[in-house]
Amino acid sequence: MPDDPVRAAAQVTRRVLPRYVEALAAVYEKARRQPEPPHRPATPEVSESFTLIWYPDGVVGAPYDSVPAAARPVLYQYRFQYSPDEAAFVLPTSYGPGERALLLGSALRQLTAQGIGVNLRHAAPTPPSSRTTAPALGAPPAPKQPPTARR
């Protein structure tokens, strides 16, 4: 661009504005042909739902009573097992992490397609233990409050 404002304005008028008009016409033409971007379909309505819990040891499971009857065959199909000791459906850790992720994802897709909602969450953290150790025999008891400095 030249330093002279009149010449600069002439160059903008001659070079930039025609390109701008062409680009604007192309945008309008594309908007006329494709008025709205494609949208994802709405999620299906769920009639039932349950929660799968991811435990700290890697097991994924849900209490048996919370799993809808229609979801149980799907869970069995994707290698969930009923554990009578825990009264729960569990996906054991004997499968590798990749295989567990694949089984879990496939089960969730099929359950969602059937209209069964699934929530996945981590187990609640265990609260810290509040046990106090007993003093050794013959040791003086620990003071309840720290001693204060005397002046």
* 105-129 average pLDDT score: 87
Give the span between the Cα atoms of 102 and 96, in whole angstroms.
10
C-alpha distances in Å from residue 31, one per residue of 23, 128, 144: 12, 60, 78
CB distance 61 to 86 below 8 Å? yes
User: Does this model's pTM top 0.85?
Assistant: no
Binned at pLDDT 50, 70 and 90, residue 117 comes out as very high
CB distance 76 to 67 below 8 Å? no
DSSP string, 43-97: PPP-SEEEEEEE-TTS-EEEEGGGS-TTTHHHHHHTT-EEETTTTEEEE-TTS-H
Q: What is the pLDDT of residue 146?
A: 59
- The DSSP call for residue 118 is E
Torsions phi, psi of 49, nearest 5?
A: -155, 160
Residue 23 burial by Cβ neighbours in a 10 Å radius (0-12, 13-18, 19+): exposed
Binned at pLDDT 50, 70 and 90, residue 143 comes out as low
Binned at pLDDT 50, 70 and 90, residue 107 comes out as very high
Six token digits for residue 34: 């494709």
* 37-57 average pLDDT score: 82
Q: Of 42 and 137, which is predicted with more confidence? A: 42
Can you tell me which residue has the tokens 């149980």? 72
* 80-86 average pLDDT score: 91
Binned at pLDDT 50, 70 and 90, residue 78 comes out as very high
Q: What is the pLDDT of residue 45?
A: 80
Of the candidate ranges 1-10, 50-59, 72-81, 108-117, the one whose mean pLDDT is the lowest? 1-10
Q: What is the pLDDT of residue 141?
A: 61
Could you report the per-residue pLDDT of 21-42, keeping only the tens digit for each? Answer: 899 999 999 888 887 766 777 7
Taking the CB of residue 83, how many other CB atoms lie within 10 A of it?
14
